[in-house]
Amino acid sequence: MRVLHITSGNLYGGVEAFLATLLREASAAPGMDPEFAVCFDGRFSSELESLGCVPHRLAPARLSRPFSVLSARRALTDLLRRGSYDVVVCHQAWTCVLFASVIRSSGRPVVLWVHMAGNGRHWLERLCQWTRPDLALCNSRFTAECTSSWLVHTPIEYAYCPVAISRFSQSGDHRDSLRRSLQTPLDDVVLVQVSRLEAFKGQHLLLKALSTLRDYPRWTCWIVGGAQRAVELDYLRRLQALARDHGIADRVRFTGERSDVSGVLGAADVYCQPNTEPEGFGLTFVEAMRAGLPVVTTGIGGAAEIVDGACGVLIEPDNASALGHALRRLILDADLRARLGCSARGRSDELCNVPRQMRRIQAVLTTVVAPRLTRAPGIEASIR
């Protein structure tokens, strides 16, 4: 089964990290051959090339510029004429709005992969309803339940993202070297957050919580993520000012974008991402758990589906005091960190084992390629 995945390509986050994993771990589902098409060049296309896969370039498209949309659609039409794809997957509503009509005209099934838990009110989601995809594949049960409220004429399934064991060394030498590069004392408890610089990811809440711990010794915070848009650059500046105003700027490292996220996680002690709004899944939660880190997050959305009391701490939204209390316990109690971190590794494998999730993705996509076949074993019932 040849699968063409289409994404915008101009930003890099959890979606793009997941797509790179689909390519990297393709051998776990030998009957599923992925290819990729992008509208914009960027870090994602470069990463695919480094993995030996040159993505198909469509054309830079913006819905506000009709001629750019026509150019991208023509490029996809030509690609579909040349390639013998069995199914085309649009990642996020934007690509489905742009390309569903072209895909359907070629006779291929249209799959919408939903990575964000929307409520159907966003204008792209409203437009997406009219495209009537043949299947919506969601990244969590929570996302699937949200999607079922607005994509009412489409079968809905979900599959967790496969997450591989770290490709980076987690030896003591590596840990010490990375800490030195980030000007971090070797014996500090390192709290890390790896995410896009978007306010709902809760970096500002983390800094407010840490301000209550400024009199506690032996902790440093790494905030990993680079500004990719003007609004993110403005948010970064506000975060830096917040750290200064609360007197913790000397203990917070804004590392920018990193390509060695697994290595960063392996050199940290606690993962904290206090989302202020529900998130569909949270790939970095699982990556942190894979690295043996306890996770502190908000008990809403997909995070509550991933993290439990055995591997982390769930707090209520927008509660800097509760967050500070949870972080204080983990900073002071090495045994608690070790116990939660050990359970985190098992929990991550339970949810996101690579062979299991790759086979599930393959089986779900097979249902739209051959809809008359008996439903593949192991596929759970759709949400409706």
The residues near 231 (Cβ < 8 Å, ≥ 6 apart) are none
Same domain, 359 and 348: no
Q: What is the pLDDT along the chain (384 residues), one digit of tens a residue?
A: 999 999 999 888 889 999 999 999 999 999 999 999 999 999 999 999 999 999 999 999 999 999 999 999 999 999 999 999 999 999 999 999 999 999 999 999 999 999 999 999 999 999 999 999 999 999 999 999 999 999 998 999 999 999 987 654 466 788 999 999 999 999 999 999 999 999 999 999 999 999 999 999 999 999 999 998 899 999 999 999 999 999 999 999 999 999 899 999 999 999 999 999 999 998 999 999 999 999 999 999 999 999 999 999 999 999 999 999 999 999 999 999 999 999 999 999 999 999 999 999 999 999 999 654 444 444 444 444
Same domain, 108 and 240: no
Instruction: Compute the distance between CA of residue 96 and CA of residue 122 in angstroms, rounded to an integer.
Output: 14
Distance of CA 196 to CAs 165, 207, 224, 323, Å? 22, 16, 8, 20
Same domain, 121 and 247: no
pLDDT at 376: 42
Q: Is residue 382 part of a domain?
A: no
- Give strand ranges (E) for the chain: 2-7, 33-38, 56-57, 87-91, 110-114, 135-138, 156-158, 189-194, 219-224, 252-256, 270-273, 295-298, 312-315
Query: Which amino acid is residue 69, in one-letter code?
Result: V
The total of other beta-carbon atoms located within 10 Å of residue 95's CB is 29
Same domain, 150 and 224: no
pLDDT at 164: 83
Same domain, 337 and 190: yes
Same domain, 6 and 93: yes
Return the SS3 of 20: helix
Q: Is residue 40 part of a domain?
A: yes
Q: Is residue 378 part of a domain?
A: no
Same domain, 116 and 193: no
Same domain, 56 and 200: no
Same domain, 311 and 185: yes
Q: Is residue 53 part of a domain?
A: yes
HEC string for 246-302: CCCHHHEEEEECCCCHHHHHHCCCEEEECCCCCCCCCHHHHHHHHCCCCEEEECCCC
The residues near 46 (Cβ < 8 Å, ≥ 6 apart) are none
Same domain, 61 and 190: no
Q: Is residue 380 part of a domain?
A: no
Q: Is residue 123 part of a domain?
A: yes
Q: 244 is written with which tokens? A: 């200064």
Compute and round to an integer the Cα radius of gyration of the chain: 21
Same domain, 73 and 140: yes
Q: With a threshold of 0.85, does the pTM exceed it?
A: yes
Q: For the chain, what is the domain count?
A: 2
Same domain, 197 and 123: no
Q: Give the domain extent around 358.
A: 2-162+353-369
pLDDT at 371: 59
Query: Where residue 358 sits, what CATH number does that domain have?
Result: 3.40.50.2000
pLDDT at 142: 96
